Amino acid sequence: MFDFSARHLLTASLICAATTAGAQNGNSNKENDPYSRYGIGEPLTGTNILLRGMGYASTAFQNSTAVNTDNPASYPTLKLTTYEGGFTGSVRTILTDNKSYGTGSATLAYLRVGVPLGKHAGMAFGIQPQSHVFYHSIDSSSTLRIERPGGDTLIANKNASEYTGEGGLNYAFIGGGGEVKGFSFGVNFGYMFGNIRNTSRLVNLDSTSITGTDFSRYTRYGGLYWKAGVQYHDTLSNGLHLRLGATAALSQDLNGTRESYSSSFFYNGNTEYPDTAYHSSGEKGQLVLPSSYSLGAQVGGGKWSVGADATLMDWKNFSNYEVRDSVRDKTMRFNVGGEYTPDPLSVYRYLSRVTYRMGFYYGTDYVQLRNTDLNYYGFTLGASFPFKRSTDRIHTALEVGRRGTETNGLVQANYVKLHLGISLNDKWFIKRRYD
């Protein structure tokens, strides 16, 4: 007989329920990102917090007490059931036209559970955000703020255009993997879902009144999504461990249901007169996601490891309701990082059991505007602090980076992100010694 208590099942259920609620609550994720107006918004990742401290180098990474969902081929190395949660706080400075302003957010990064299945197999399940949309921009140099009835604020100027949007995509998944003679294989399979709202407001202002038009669309997305991976592990003649990894996710479609409307309004300073000119609901369409391929390698000894990744994303087939939306054909991303633990078995020196990490990443953005390439890069530092038992950890990572450029009137964003995660380990399916 096996001991699989109701407490374990309840814990796993609460994790998934809490994550679903948190992932769909956008109130804490109001970080203004002008580039999230395009494509699917700002892409997010469910990468483990400890890997974020290593520059996100994850394709060849394995850990017996941590869940690497970036490559499901890592699941067979799990030795204990692992509960994980992560949060991210971000501060961003937006630079454009020699002006700057600050914005920020705090949001859930992921919640999941990894479970070993015997000596050569493992599985994981959970939920994590996949993209973030929130932007508010005005294409006029001088503006006027007017409080409208009901407490709404109208920002107006002659021939001004105001753009706002919010929403994003989330991914609920279950994955599994197995190992045979140094090779491991795995796949994540789940449901990607979310909603995105986009609004454009055109405003004209004269000395006595304001006239304008709102164009809005609200789209709900949903569909199946999968990602597969493979890893190979070998011990070199000098005692070092070598791991190679690869992942692939082909282009896949999400079904969309859209509601669109346009309305005009006239405001004379005392009364607002709205008029809905057009409304359509139930518009069916598709969001065609890009394909993605990565290769990675990791080498290390007992106390340290260094890894590197290269990721190619093919956006040629991308479309949102058959619209390309300022998206380039291909993007590349490079990640490099390492970790070091002075003495994992130290009893008297706590800091010697702490794992220290650092890394770097560089990539080309999938958004392309005014024939200008947008790049991004970042530096990371991280540490994992053991507590209670040697396998339980609090993970931290600090990320400093830049995205975009002010060239050709575009926008540059300098950001600082603080990541905090926790991993707890337990034993499921324990065979009883006595019956």
DSSP structure string for 377-414: EEEEEEEEEEESEEEEEEEEEEEEEEEE--GGG--EEE
* CB 128 within 8 Å of CB 23: yes
* Over residues 47-65, mean pLDDT: 95
Domain count, the chain: 1
Q: What is the pTM of this model?
A: 0.85
Lowest average pLDDT, out of 155-169, 300-314, 358-372, goes to 155-169
Average pLDDT over residues 123-148: 76
Reply yes or no on whether the pLDDT at 383 is more than 50: yes
Higher per-residue pLDDT: 127 or 237: 127
Mean pLDDT of 405-424: 93
* Closest residue by Cα to residue 247 from 326, 137, 335, 316: 335
The pLDDT value recorded for residue 268 is: 65
What pLDDT band is residue 14 in, cutting at 50, 70 and 90? very low
Give the mean model confidence (pLDDT) for residues 365-390. Answer: 90
389, pLDDT greater than 80: no
pLDDT in tens, 177-203: 999 999 999 999 999 999 999 998 877
For residue 435, is pLDDT > 80?
no
pLDDT band per the 50, 70, 90 thresholds, residue 77? very high
In this prediction, residue 276 carries a pLDDT of 64
Nearest to 150 by CA among 274, 246, 53, 32: 274
Would you give the DSSP letter of residue 432? P
Rounded mean pLDDT, 362-372:
92
Which pLDDT value is given to residue 112? 96
Q: Measured in Å, how far apart are the chain's first and last C-alpha atoms?
A: 7
pLDDT computed for residue 16 by the predictor:
41
- The reported pLDDT for the residue numbered 114 is 96
Query: For residue 270, what are the domain limits?
Result: 2-431
Lowest mean pLDDT, pick from 54-63, 224-233, 318-327, 332-341 = 318-327
Which residue bears the tokens 């339980």?
392
| 3-state percent helix, strand, coil for the chain, nearest multiple of 5 | 10, 65, 30
User: Residue 397 has what pLDDT?
Assistant: 98
Quick one: 213 exposed, middle or buried, by C-beta within 10 A (0-12, 13-18, 19+)? middle
Q: Mean of the pLDDT values across residues 358-370?
A: 95
pLDDT tens, position by position, 232-252: 999 988 889 999 999 999 999
Whether the Cβ atoms of residue 89 and residue 106 lie closer than 8 Å to each other? yes
Between these two residues, 205 and 231, which has the higher pLDDT value? Answer: 231
**The pLDDT of residue 1 is above 90:** no
Is a pLDDT exceeding 80 seen at residue 366? yes
pLDDT band at 152 (very low <50, low <70, confident <90, very high): low
**Cα–Cα dist 386/204, whole Å:** 60
Is the pLDDT assigned to residue 275 strictly greater than 70? no
**Is the pLDDT assigned to residue 157 strictly greater than 80?**
no
Strand, helix or coil at 119?
A: coil
Residue 265 has pLDDT above 90, yes or no: no
The confidence band for 412, taking pLDDT boundaries of 50, 70 and 90, is: very high
Instruction: Please tell me the least confidently modeled range out of 185-194, 196-205, 358-367, 416-425.
Output: 196-205
What pLDDT was estimated at residue 249? 97
Look at residue 146 in the predicted model and tell me its pLDDT. Answer: 46
Predicted confidence (pLDDT) per residue in 278-326, tens digit: 788 889 999 999 999 999 999 998 899 999 999 999 999 999 999 988 8
Q: Which pLDDT value is given to residue 166? A: 93
Residue type at position 94: I
The pLDDT score that the predictor gives to residue 140 is: 57
So what's the pLDDT on residue 395? 97
Q: Measure the CA–CA gap between 252 and 224, rounded to whole angstroms.
A: 8
Task: Supply the pLDDT for residue 320.
Answer: 94
Give the chain's mean pLDDT.
Answer: 85
Which of 101-110, 353-362, 386-395, 397-406 shows the lowest per-residue confidence on average (mean pLDDT)? 386-395
Tell me the average pLDDT across 260-268: 77
| CATH number of the domain encompassing residue 131 | 2.40.160.60
